[in-house]
Amino acid sequence: MRRRAFIALLGGAAAWPLVARAQQAASTVRRIGLLLPGNARTTAVRGQLEAFRQGLKEYGWVEGQNIIVEYRFAEGREDALPAIAAELARLRLDIIVAESTVGIQAAKTVTQTVPIVMATSADPVGTGLVVSLNRPGGNITGLSLQTAELSGKRLQLLTELVPGLTRVAVLSNPLSPSIAPIVEQTKAAAQSLGVEVHVAEVQAPDKFESAFAAITSAHAGALIVLPDPVLYGQHPRVVTFTAASHLPALFPEKEVAEVGGLIAYGPSIPGSFRRAAAYVDKILRGAKPADLPVEQPTAFELVVNLQTARAIGVTIPTSILLRADEVIE
């Protein structure tokens, strides 16, 4: 056999599994539901959806060809999630993909049989979504955005950013079932660093002004915004407040720093949505959610906005700039 023909034969053989995989994916049209607490019109949510679709394509699932996605959005109203989840449960879906602890809990309440993939979650074990990270049990698996040491790292960054920091405000949503342990972790880290914590609570979009007033009254030297869909959906208001108050603020999402937030540190939310597609693919091909370990983040993005720093009169230390994954001039 000629060498060229032999190489061509090997190349064809290597492609056989890919062809078979594509044919398998195309054999039937599968239906999944996507349950999001946010607003579909926001740039952040559009980025999450694009990342998810791209992830599906990487595994051979093309929307409108071999997979149908039923989109549902709570538009920032977490109290609407149970009804929306119930609507999805009536559609006889193959999988429900849900974001945030409240969204996942809403889905869990309406079905114990349809597989549920967590696109993002904070503390899935502590909130009772799964039995353990390695062996989730039940019909839920997916991704967690939180690690035990993350709160301490965020606070440490602020103490580097603001020399002599003695008081920090924490913006949180007390209705979120995953927030309480994050607040406690932040307080524990603050105690070890000699920093006082003042928690400002916001439960709905119409409660932000009172939370801002509480932060101002506390005379905090910096602000930490905790990960939560309500807070994320209203980040332009938080950015505007911190800019007007010349208050150094740290956000958990890099997308906020890219549109005016001073600094962000945390795992990539679009990256988590992209990885969620891998879980969708495995389950559609026969894997059981109970047997798929929950992933925790191993990479974190540090983004600094120098434009905002100059505007509020903050000098970013070289130690932070050298570690930054992205610096916005």
Percent of all residues in the chain with a pLDDT value above 90, rounded to a whole number: 70
pLDDT at 286 over 70: yes
**More reliable by pLDDT, 282 or 77:** 282
**Average pLDDT of the residues in 156-166:** 95
Percent of all residues in the chain with a pLDDT value above 70, rounded to a whole number: 91
pLDDT at 75 (0 to 100): 86
**More reliable by pLDDT, 114 or 3:** 114
Residue ranges in 219-286 assigned as alpha helix (H): 229-233, 235-245, 254-258, 269-284
**Average pLDDT of the residues in 147-167:** 90
Confidence of residue 148 (pLDDT cuts 50, 70, 90): low
**Average pLDDT of the residues in 284-305:** 94
Quote the CA–CA distance of 140 and 292 in Å, as a whole number: 9
To which residue do tokens 């597989």 refer?
115
pLDDT at 120 over 80: yes
pLDDT tens digits for range 34-89: 999 888 888 888 999 999 999 999 999 999 999 999 999 998 788 899 999 999 99
Cα separations (Å) of 10 from 1, 19, 197, 248?
A: 12, 14, 63, 59
pLDDT at 206 (0 to 100): 86
**Average pLDDT of the residues in 15-34:** 64
Contact at 8 Å (CB) between 216 and 58?
Answer: no
pLDDT at 10 over 60: no
pLDDT at 32 (0 to 100): 97
pLDDT at 122 (0 to 100): 84
Mean pLDDT of the chain: 89
pLDDT at 5 over 80: no
The one-character DSSP state at 99 is E
Cα separations (Å) of 117 from 67, 77, 138, 245, 292?
A: 16, 21, 12, 40, 10
pLDDT at 171 (0 to 100): 96
pLDDT tens digits for range 219-273: 999 999 998 878 887 889 999 999 999 999 999 999 899 999 999 999 999 999 9
> Where is average pLDDT lowest: 24-38, 115-129, 315-329?
24-38
10 Å CB burial of residue 171 (0-12, 13-18, 19+) is: buried
Closest CA to 312 of 222, 208, 216, 227: 222
**More reliable by pLDDT, 150 or 97:** 97
**Average pLDDT of the residues in 145-158:** 87
